Amino acid sequence: MVRRLLREPLLHFFVAGILLFGAYAVLHRGSANAPDEIVVSSGQLENLKLQFERVWRRPATEVELQTLVDNFVKEEIFYREGLTLGLDRDDPVVRRRIGQKLEFIVESAEPPLPSEAELQAWLHAHAGQYQIEPVYSLRQVYFDPARHDDVDAVIAAAKRALDTGKIIAGDATMLPASLEDVAATEAQRVFGTEFSKALGALPVGAWHGPVRSAFGLHLVTLSKSSAARPATLAEARAEVERDLTTARLQEANAAFYDRLRAKYAVRIERGPATDPG
């Protein structure tokens, strides 16, 4: 599949260069080359200076400006000659670039900021997307099954001790012994999915478990546990505003394309049946 080839810009220029000179040699054989006029207008000159300044943060020197102009002229000549040869046609780079330019202009039509009521309505319609996560404060004691012949008995003994208020260290670990006021995703980052899911089912107070994690088994006590709940607009305003604006922009872009598309009749000439894989 041609598309899958590596596309590094410079390689393209090499390939393009070879093709261009080949095509030029063929097409320009014997044709008279009427000198065309190239005007480097004051606007273009300004443009070149400005482009330079935006990269280097200083004005170009006379010598640099001359080089810029020379390059501009050379590029313009190559560009015109290339256009004459029709090299802009069927070139995926050019095609894509020009398409992207149009897309860019379309997207600059940013929709106005949504009103309070619109934000509220969006939040209401997409409540599931804007959840305040559960928050936990927990302590845990870790047991590595690989370090015990009968881990169940060790854990049962530890739990009895913890229930009577004794402090038990469990197996040595770098995992945190406690997490304070952490969102569920943070607990998930540290202990993994299985453990963080189990937290939701544990009542506050008393030692529970063993709870399984990616590391082994844990006795866990929660001093705080709040359930997930839908966010209020005040809590999720930034996200709602961003998402609603993005959705509107996408709608506007789709509508724009639909209108352009309506101007065209598209006919697909299917060749002999092939298996696209």
Partner 1 sequence: MKAIAAGVAVSVASILQVAAVAQAQQPAGQIITDIADVQPADPNKFYKEPGYSPYAGKHFPARPLFGDQHLHTGWSVDAGLGGATLSPEDAVRFARGEQVTSSSGQPVRLSRPLDWVAVTDHSDAMGTIAAIREGNAEMMKDPTLKRWHDMMSQGPEEGTKATMEVVAAQANKKLPPALVDPKWAKTYWDKNIDIMEKYNEPGRFTAFIAYEWTSNAGGGNNLHRNVIYRDNQDKARQVLPMTTFQSDNPEALWKWMADWEKKTGGQLLAIPHNGNLSNGRMFELQTFMGGPMTRDWAEMRQKYERLFEAIQMKGQSESHPSLSTTDEFAVGYEIWDRGNLAMVPKKPGMIEHEYLRQALKDGLKVDQDLGANPFKYGMAGGTDTHNGLTAAEEDNFYGKFVGSEPRKDRWQEDAIKFGDRVVKGWEMTAAGYTGVWATENTRAAIWDAMQRRETYATSGPRMIVRFFGGYDFTKRDAALRSPAIAGYNKGVAMGSDLPKAPTGKAPTFLVAAVKDPYSGNLDRIQIIKGWLDANGKLQEKIYNVAWGDADTRKLQANGKLPSVGNTVDLETASWTNTIGDPELITVWKDPEFNPTVKAFYYARVLEIPTPRWTAYDAAYFKVKISDPKVPMTTQERAFTSPIWYSP
Nearer to partner 1, 55 or 266 (CB): 55
CA 42 to CA 46: how far, in whole Å? 6
CB of 29 to partner 1, least distance (A): 29
CB of 105 to partner 1, least distance (A): 5
DSSP state of 201: T
CA 190 to CA 194: how far, in whole Å? 11
Nearer to partner 1, 44 or 85 (CB): 44
Beta bridge partners of 179: 138
CA 136 to CA 245: how far, in whole Å? 33
Nearer to partner 1, 198 or 236 (CB): 236
CA 144 to CA 139: how far, in whole Å? 17
Nearer to partner 1, 38 or 254 (CB): 254
Question: Tokens 């469990």 sit at which residue?
Answer: 170
Q: Which two tokens stand for residue 60?
A: 């170009």
* The length of the chain, given as a count of residues: 277
CB of 271 to partner 1, least distance (A): 21
CB of 62 to partner 1, least distance (A): 18
CB of 220 to partner 1, least distance (A): 12
- Is the CB of residue 60 less than 8 Å from the CB of residue 68? yes
Nearer to partner 1, 3 or 270 (CB): 3
